[in-house]
Amino acid sequence: MPKNRINTKFELPCGITLKNRLVKSAMTERISNHKLEPTIEHERLYEKWADTGAGLLITGNVMIDRIHLESAGNVCFDDEKMLPKLKKWAAAGKKNGNHIWVQISHAGRQSNKFSTLKPLAPSEVQLKKLGLFGKPRAMSETDINVTIKGFIKAAKIAKDAGFTGIQIHAAHGYLISQFLSPLTNQRTDDWGGSIFNRSRLLLTVIREIRKVVGPSFPIAVKLNSSDFQKGGFTEEESLEVIKLLDNEKIDLLEISGGTYEKVAFFLMNEDQVKKSTRQREAYFIDFAKKVRTISNLPLLITGGFRSYDFCNAALEKGELDLIGMARPFITNLDDIHSFLKGEIPNLDNLILRTGISQFEDAAEAGFYARQLIRLSKGKKVKPSMSPFICSNFLILNELRLAVSKKFKS
231-267 pLDDT, tens digit per residue, is 889 999 999 999 999 999 899 999 988 777 655 544 4
- CA-nearest of 36, 165, 175, 58 to 105 is 175
With 0.85 as the threshold, say if the pTM is over it.
Answer: yes
CA 249 to centroid of chain Cα atoms: 20
Local confidence band at 356 (pLDDT 50, 70, 90 cut-offs): low
Q: Phi/psi at 398 (nearest 5 deg)?
A: -60, -45
Name the pLDDT band for 391 (thresholds 50, 70, 90).
confident
How do beta strands 75-76 and 99-105 pair? unpaired
Interatomic CA distance for residues 282 and 275, integer angstroms: 12
Per the prediction, the chain carries an average pLDDT of 91
Q: How far apart are CA 69 and CA 112, in angstroms?
A: 7
- Which is it for the CA torsion 107, 204, 144, 194, positive or negative? negative
Report CA-CA distances (Å) from 152 to 104, 177, 206, 219, 310. 10, 18, 9, 12, 38
pLDDT category at 187 given cuts 50, 70, 90 is: very high
Pick the residue with more confidence: 263 or 116? 116
5-351 CATH: 3.20.20.70
pLDDT over 60 (residue 48): yes
Given a cut of 90, whether residue 110 has pLDDT beyond it is yes
Q: Is the pLDDT of residue 30 over 50?
A: yes
At 360 the pLDDT is 77
What pLDDT does residue 20 have?
98
**Given a cut of 60, is residue 275 above it in pLDDT?**
no
Average pLDDT over every residue of 194-206:
98
Distance between CA atoms of residues 27 and 211, nearest Å: 28
- Pairing between strand 17-18 and 10-11? antiparallel
Dist CA 127 CA 134 (whole Å): 8
